[in-house]
Amino acid sequence: MLVSAKEMLNKAKAGKYAVGQFNINNLEWTKAILLTAQELNSPVILGVSEGAGKYMCGYKTVVGMVNGMIEELGITVPVALHLDHGSYEGAKKCIEAGFSSVMFDGSHYPIEENVAKTKELVETCNKLGLSLEAEVGAIGGEEDGVIGGGEVADPKECKMIADLGVTMLAAGIGNIHGKYPENWAGLSFDTLADISALTGDMPLVLHGGTGIPADMIKKAISLGVSKINVNTECQLSFAAATRKYVEEGKDLQGKGFDPRKLLAPGFEAIKETVKEKMELFGSIGKA
Ligand code: 13P
């Protein structure tokens, strides 16, 4: 059964580790992440962007697939199914479809509008026992065609949104989606410390987990980050493993063209990436 992300993130915040959000794109992705979480006894959050939701034939299809897999694979660790960077309308659709957690990304609205919309969704999610992630200050990089510039959030605005009663808060601290540029300035730990001081027990979310050096991840966790989002890194490891299989000509040997064989190395590569991240985030054995 899907669970809200509230309990797992409050436990992570108190225990000074982070739960990974891994974005899903299809059946192989979902199965790889769920099996790894179960093997390592780790809580996990499956992230679905609006684009990925569309690709997978809509939120209801995603809910059906994930619920079916949890049952058929005997997954007993806590799993939250979470809308990643949702619009206001997208959040409502996911709530209706049976997601256990949603992100409303109102960071591009003026703060007053972000507050008003977030507030309304807090009420809805509270009534239904779902977790809600809000965002302050756009996170840089490209996601679903939107490009930001590694922005840094205003800690006072973070407090305003945190006080509305959201479950977890994403705040830009110089993080970027996708690969980091050579000249990246790194995470702004001063900003993170200020946000943490003002928001107290609120679990903070670090987006753009791909390519952030391990020491920065650890420091971010020590300063209150309890959820870390990873997407691109699984895509890169899936693509590299699939490329190797084809370049070695394995799809031309025997029944190597069978999709179950063709996609197997990529599936294993995702499992390995998820394992590495769970080790780094400290969530192993915390289910
Ligand atoms: P990356 O693709 O950089 O890992 O970011 C993922 C993310 O933050 C999803 O919201």
Find the CATH number of the domain harbouring 228: 3.20.20.70
**E strand map for the chain:** 19-23, 44-49, 79-86, 101-104, 131-136, 140-143, 146-148, 168-171, 176-177, 204-206, 225-230
Is position 247 within any domain? no
Is position 159 within any domain? yes
Give me the pLDDT at residue 181, please.
Answer: 86
Centre of ligand 1 from the C-alpha of residue 125, in Å: 24
Is position 46 within any domain? yes
Structural domain containing residue 180: 6-239+270-281
- The residue contributing the CA closest to ligand 1 atom 5 is 208
Residues 120-152: tens digit of each pLDDT: 999 999 999 999 999 997 666 555 555 545 678
Give me the pLDDT at residue 83, please.
Answer: 98
Judge if the beta carbon of residue 138 lies within 6 A of ligand 1.
no
Judge if the beta carbon of residue 25 lies within 6 A of ligand 1.
no
Give me the pLDDT at residue 185, please.
Answer: 85
For the chain, which ranges sit under pLDDT 70? 138-150
| Count of the separate structural domains present in the chain | 1
Q: Whole-prediction pTM value?
A: 0.95
Please spell the DSSP secondary structure of 131-183, one letter per residue: EEEEEESPPEEEETTEEE---B--HHHHHHHHTTT-SEEEE-BS-EESSPPTT
Is position 27 within any domain? yes
Please give the number of the atom of ligand 1 that sits closest to the Cα of 206: 8
Centre of ligand 1 from the C-alpha of residue 282, in Å: 19
The active-site residue out of 84, 105, 194, 258 is 84
Is position 72 within any domain? yes
Please give the number of the atom of ligand 1 that sits closest to the Cα of 139: 8
Give me the pLDDT at residue 140, please.
Answer: 60
Is position 172 within any domain? yes
Is position 244 within any domain? no
Distance CA 95, CA 128 (A): 9
Query: Is residue 84 flagged as an active site residue?
Result: yes
Is position 248 within any domain? no
Query: What amino acid is encoded at 107 in this protein?
Result: S
CA distances from 12 to 68, 132, 199, 255 (A): 27, 16, 16, 45
